[in-house]
């Protein structure tokens, strides 16, 4: 199994190209099920999760071709053609490995009238139920049955427009319901919806296919169902979590890195926080420049929340920065109930962190020490890579398959800016 070796202490300098957003690309691919015409997606990142979604869609009868981007950060071009839907069955083995598979429910119900999708179950970061998705589809007129770990959903006469208020602004439920409602009969009003940039990207993609949607980026989305959607060519938005991760890497290691292609408006909460810790962040005509001089970062508190708040997907990486900061900070996680698995691993590297309920208190230390570590999810794993950049000596990050799910060519991107990092294949 591959491992990543980092020898800490190098400052970073240069540029990193930002890839397309995993959490947008996966949903756009699922939404290609909504039309019998070809859909072409550009700027698709090369990741294990994208390969898993491709396999699932091919099982439904989608014809899928990939043209590989050659340069670092260029992105693949993926052509998806769902001329006929041959099966609407998503087995446990796939959904268990990648929860985003559950996002095919909306498109399948809308286009095919039925689907059998495995319940995802819990995962390393929390219980993560799908009750809001199911209540929403029931409100849209679907019959939902749960049997043997599967959701059987039927909407034989088609979904019907309705008003539905989400109990929490869930990203996945907003997106799943949106992709169902675009072909429903009549008007759907979704209240308390997610405002995340990836949710907006999905909405813009659906509009480009002919959907009638208003209110994207607000907490009320109105969708007027249409008869049919058409094919489209569309570029996936840049990944704001990858952007934030490399911004934090620069703040941890010190140096100056331009994140080419990054969208500044998608990382507003992070920029504000980075500035409090002593880093400089500037918009450039190609993206964002992050700079930190030799001084130690300063401690600053943060609470994760829905967009435009500070994203839970950057909490572990920010904790790695705080682990080396001057002073103590409190990091509160409010989106997932169990997202501190990186704490014991950071402690192996000499970090001083205590967790009480949903708050981690981080007492910054002057130096972290390299160690063998591993993590159980993607963002936690990358936080250990970031800590390794600042640590004295050698850090080996095990279970690299987590990183491969969500960070395209991570070691190449970091070594291009001067980090001493390599993949060890065993
Ligand atoms: C998306 O997950 C992302 N995944 C996550 O990124 C991200 O952390 C999360 O949004 C929050 O921003 C993808 O886009 C593929 P939610 P999602 O529904 O949609 C509870 C990564 O590392 N909830 O907004 O699953 C839920 O348990 C991943 O790339 C219910 O209770 O997140 C959680 O506590 C990790 N019932 C909260 O809401 C439901 O029916 C937010 O979940 C749905 C959600």
Distance 171 CA to ligand 1 centre (A): 6
Distance 5 CA to ligand 1 centre (A): 30
Atom of ligand 1 nearest to the CA of 241: 29
Q: How far is CA 349 from CA 130, 325, 365, in A?
A: 36, 14, 11
Confidence of residue 35 (pLDDT cuts 50, 70, 90): very high
User: From atom 8 of ligand 1, which residue's Cα is the shortest distance away?
Assistant: 313
Q: Are residues 270 and 383 in the same domain?
A: yes
- What pTM was estimated for this model as a whole? 0.98
- pLDDT the model gives residue 126: 77
Instruction: Count Cα neighbours of 155 within 13 Å in the Cβ-side half-sphere.
Output: 27
Q: Are residues 315 and 357 in the same domain?
A: yes
Among residues of the chain, what percentage have pLDDT more than 70? 100
pLDDT over threshold 90, residue 121: no
Q: Which residues have CB under 8 Å from 94's CB, separation 6+? A: 52, 55, 56, 59, 101, 118
Which residue among 51, 64, 85, 123 is the active-site one? 123
Q: Are residues 29 and 156 in the same domain?
A: yes
- pLDDT the model gives residue 270: 98
Q: At which of 176, 201, 235 does a domain end?
A: 235
- pLDDT the model gives residue 26: 98
Number of structural domains found in the chain: 2
Ligand 1 pocket residues where CB is under 6 Å: 23, 26, 99-100, 126, 128-133, 168, 170-173, 311-313, 335-336, 378-379, 406
- Name the DSSP letter for residue 22: H
Q: Which residues have CB under 8 Å from 232's CB, separation 6+? A: 39, 40, 205, 208, 209
Atom of ligand 1 nearest to the CA of 49: 15
Q: Are residues 349 and 202 in the same domain?
A: no
Distance 129 CA to ligand 1 centre (A): 9
- Name the DSSP letter for residue 33: G
Q: Which of 24, 31, 128 has most ligand 1 atoms within 8 Å of CB, for mutation?
A: 128
Q: What is the pLDDT of residues 75-105, one digit of tens each?
A: 999 999 999 999 999 999 999 989 999 999 9
β-strand 302-303 against 328-332: which pairing, if any? parallel
- pLDDT the model gives residue 128: 86
Q: What is the pLDDT of residues 139-182, one digit of tens each?
A: 999 999 999 999 999 998 999 999 999 999 999 999 999 999 99
Beta-bridged to residue 16, according to DSSP, are 259
Confidence of residue 383 (pLDDT cuts 50, 70, 90): very high
Q: Are residues 149 and 112 in the same domain?
A: yes
Ramachandran bin of 112, using left for φ above 0, alpha for ψ from -120 to 50, beta for the remaining angles:
alpha
Q: Are residues 130 and 42 in the same domain?
A: yes
Please report, to the nearest 10 degrees, the dihedral formed by the alpha carbons of residues 201, 204, 205, 207 taken in order: 160
CATH number, domain of 318, equals 3.65.10.10
Q: Are residues 195 and 52 in the same domain?
A: yes
Is 123 catalytic? The answer is: yes
Q: Are residues 13 and 161 in the same domain?
A: no
> Residue 290 sits in which domain range?
3-18+238-424
Q: At which of 235, 252, 270 does a domain end?
A: 235
Atom of ligand 1 nearest to the CA of 194: 24
Q: At which of 174, 200, 235 does a domain end?
A: 235
Using alpha carbons, select from 76, 83, 19 the residue that is nearest to residue 53. 76
Q: Which of 19, 20, 22, 23 has most ligand 1 atoms within 8 Å of CB, for mutation?
A: 23
Q: Are residues 31 and 158 in the same domain?
A: yes
């Amino acid at each position: 199994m591959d491992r990543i070796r980092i020898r800490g202490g190098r400052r970073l300098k240069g540029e990193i190209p930002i890839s397309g957003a995993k959490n947008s690309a996966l949903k756009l691919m699922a939404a290609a099920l909504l039309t019998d015409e070809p859909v072409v997606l550009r700027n698709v990142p090369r990741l294990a999760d994208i390969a898993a979604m491709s396999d699932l869609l091919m099982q439904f009868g989608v014809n899928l071709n990939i043209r590989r981007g050659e340069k670092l950060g260029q992105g693949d071009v993926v052509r998806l053609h769902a001329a006929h839907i041959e099966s609407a069955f998503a087995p446990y083995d796939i959904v268990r490995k990648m929860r985003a598979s559950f996002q095919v429910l909306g498109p399948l119900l809308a286009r095919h009238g039925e689907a059998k999708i495995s319940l995802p179950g819990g995962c390393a970061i929390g219980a993560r139920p799908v009750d809001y998705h199911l209540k929403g589809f029931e409100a849209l007129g679907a019959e939902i049955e749960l049997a043997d770990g599967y959701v059987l959903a039927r909407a034989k006469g088609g979904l019907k427009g309705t008003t539905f208020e989400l109990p929490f602004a869930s990203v996945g439920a907003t997106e799943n319901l949106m992709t169902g409602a675009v072909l429903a009969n009549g008007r759907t009003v979704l209240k308390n919806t997610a405002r995340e940039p990836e949710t907006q990207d999905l909405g813009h993609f659906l509009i480009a296919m002919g959907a009638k949607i208003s209110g994207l980026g607000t907490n009320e989305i109105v969708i007027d169902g249409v008869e049919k959607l058409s094919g489209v060519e569309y570029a996936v938005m840049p990944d704001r979590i990858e952007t934030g991760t490399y911004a934090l890497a620069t703040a941890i290691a010190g140096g100056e890195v331009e994140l080419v292609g990054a969208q500044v408006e998608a990382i507003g909460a992070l920029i504000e926080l980075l500035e409090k810790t002593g880093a400089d962040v500037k918009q450039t005509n190609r993206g964002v420049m992050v700079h930190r001089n030799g001084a130690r970062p300063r401690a600053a508190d943060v609470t994760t929340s829905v967009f435009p708040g500070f994203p839970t997907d950057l909490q572990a990486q920010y904790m790695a920065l705080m682990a080396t900061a001057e002073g103590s900070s409190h990091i509160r996680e409010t989106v997932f109930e169990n997202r501190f698995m990186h704490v014991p691993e950071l402690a192996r590297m000499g970090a001083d962190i205590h967790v009480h309920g949903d708050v981690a208190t981080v007492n910054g230390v002057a130096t972290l020490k390299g160690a063998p570590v591993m993590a159980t999810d993607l963002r936690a794993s990358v936080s250990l890579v970031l800590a390794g950049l600042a640590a004295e000596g050698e850090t080996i990050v095990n279970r690299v398959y987590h990183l491969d799910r969500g960070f395209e060519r991570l070691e190449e991107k970091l070594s291009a800016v001067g980090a001493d990092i390599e993949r060890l294949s065993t």
